[in-house]
Amino acid sequence: MRLRHPRLPMGMALALLAASAFLFGVAPGLAPSVFAAPADEAASETSDEGVSGTEGESEDTDAAKSEADDPAKTEDTDATKPETSDTAKPGTADVENPAPTAAEPETIAVTDIELDDYKDRMATGETQELAPTVLPANATEQTVAFTSSDKGVLTVSSKGQVKAVGAGTATVTLKAGVVTREIAIEVRVATTAIEVALGFLVLAPEEAFTLTASVAPADAPQALTFRSTNTDVASVSEGGTVWALATGTASIVVSNGDASAVTTVLVNERVAGGANGVDGADGEATAEPSASENAPSPSAAAEAALVAEIESDGGTVRVRQADWPVVTKAVLKALYATGATLVLEAPTYTLTLRGQEVRNEQNELSTSVSFKEDGSDTVFSLNRGEALPGKVEVELTDPRLDRARLYLLNPSTGAYQELASKTGPVLVLDEPGEYRLTDEEIGALTIEPLLVAAAALAILVGVALFVAFRRRYWFW
């Protein structure tokens, strides 16, 4: 059996040839847009129209001819066609019209680093936060890096927190982009205290006194400066010598740059009393009582100034014993109320009266202590035998006065009682009366038993003489 191939009608074949000749010869610019249709659309049209769709093709051919005859229509048609129709096949690059690429961002360089106020001097253990600003504000690089030239002196975190570690000077470097900035910071050992020998000083006009002070700890800055707050009343030299110029009150400020302390100076018209000390060519302690024992009580102005100093300070107030022969009731009341400590300094001893140890503020304290030598012992009296306001600490600053044992005389029995209230040169006393410092153990020996023993011995001697005299007559 012979298969027969289907044949197109002659008219249809001629029409297809004419359309092809027109598209590729007469209007070649239309060919890409016609034949570049997506494959799925061509397949759909083929499926819908089939081989027998000659009428649709004739209509397309006539429309193409009409557009070729009218150039305006051809331009409008090209303008309305999508740009994607220029691509012959999916995935094929368009060499003549490449796709546009994204523009690279512009880099803005750092020009400077500003820094807010900071401390160029720090104490060990202290911290501070550095606050830099990168300029310009829209610079590409906004991160600031921090480094320390000596981590044994300063450490710095990534956020700019600086901590002082040890004494010395170190440089902190800040970097942003290609810009760097350096700052130098000095670190000192922190001062814990400045101790002035006297917290309160009473002077007469034209009198002078040299203040001494110490700084703790020892590796803190030791250089001290002295300044008077009232140079009309008192002036002070660079070495701490205070000169009283006129009556009134002034404060002497002692500072090392990190900390400070204040001594109150009261310039008052008064008769200056002497201070107990060591006199004589032989260098032995004097047996005479201190001249300040007969000195007048402090003036009302001096008393009021000392009370104000105690109430404002609340700590330890140091005065000269010669300025305060008597601790008055008002001063005792201020000490009791505030719990402050009053230290009275004399050349050979120091008296300390603590507010929490005051028991009776009505018992004024005589600050004059007279030391006498009795053989190898040292004898002294406290508060002239009158009741004490409370416990009083006596520190012997002259080693020639000190002995190993401390005894208190009991006036009712005449016996000495050993006390355990001695620690080195410091004596803690709460009773008035006569005290004896000795290196020997006194034991139970008293004054009255000696008299009794002497009387008994005299009686025995008398009896012996009487017996010896009467024996001559016993044989009669």
Confidence of residue 234 (pLDDT cuts 50, 70, 90): very high
Q: Name residue, tokens 């350096």.
A: 182
What whole-number distance in Å separates Cα of residue 22 and Cα of residue 14?
Answer: 12
What whole-number distance in Å separates Cα of residue 427 and Cα of residue 393?
Answer: 6
Closest of 322, 352, 366, 334 to residue 427, by C-alpha: 352
Task: Report CA-CA distances (Å) from 314 to 41, 112, 199, 309, 420.
Answer: 102, 52, 12, 8, 30
DSSP 69-117: H-HHHHHHHHHHS-GGGG-SSTT---SSSPPPPPPPPPP----EEEE--
Lowest mean pLDDT among 8-12, 77-81, 246-250, 262-266: 77-81
pLDDT in tens, 408-448: 988 888 888 888 878 888 999 988 888 999 998 886 444 45
Asked whether the predicted pLDDT for residue 464 surpasses 70, the reply is yes
429 touches 382 (CB < 8 A): yes
- The H or E element that residue 457 is part of is helix 447-470
Degrees, nearest 5: CA angle 234-235-236: 130
> Phi-psi region for residue 4, left (φ > 0), alpha (ψ -120 to 50) or beta?
beta
What pLDDT does 287 receive? 38
Confidence of residue 458 (pLDDT cuts 50, 70, 90): confident
What whole-number distance in Å separates Cα of residue 465 and Cα of residue 232?
Answer: 85
What whole-number distance in Å separates Cα of residue 304 and Cα of residue 250?
Answer: 14
**Average pLDDT of the chain?**
77
What pLDDT does 329 receive? 92
What pLDDT does 264 receive? 87
- Chain centroid to Cα 467, Å, comes to 92
Which is more confident, 388 or 36? 388
Percent of the chain with pLDDT strictly greater than 70? 68
Written as one letter, the residue type at 231 is: T
Closest of 391, 341, 392, 390 to residue 369, by C-alpha: 392
Q: Using the Cα atoms of residue 318, residue 323, residue 325 and residue 331 in order, give the sign of their dihedral.
A: negative
Percent of the chain with pLDDT strictly greater than 90? 37
Asked whether the predicted pLDDT for residue 387 surpasses 70, the reply is yes
The upper half-sphere exposure of residue 99, i.e. CA atoms within 13 Å in the direction of its Cβ, equals 7
Q: φ, ψ for residue 363 (rounded to 5)?
A: -90, 95
Lowest mean pLDDT among 61-75, 154-168, 248-262: 61-75
Q: Using the Cα atoms of residue 264, residue 266, residue 267 and residue 272 in order, give the sign of their dihedral.
A: negative
Instruction: Report CA Rg, the chain.
Output: 56
Contacts with 187 (C-beta within 8 Å, 6 or more apart), sequence order = 121, 122, 123, 124, 153, 154, 164, 165, 166, 167, 168, 169, 170
Asked whether the predicted pLDDT for residue 15 surpasses 90, the reply is no
Partner residues linked to 417 by β-bridges: 408
Q: Name residue, tokens 């820094």.
A: 115
Residues in the chain: 476
The bridge status of strand 200-203 relative to strand 260-267 is: parallel
Confidence of residue 476 (pLDDT cuts 50, 70, 90): very low
Closest of 410, 437, 434, 442 to residue 425, by C-alpha: 437
443 touches 391 (CB < 8 A): no
242 touches 213 (CB < 8 A): no
pLDDT in tens, 134-192: 999 999 999 999 999 999 999 999 999 999 999 999 999 999 999 999 999 999 898 88
What pLDDT does 282 receive? 39
Confidence of residue 315 (pLDDT cuts 50, 70, 90): confident
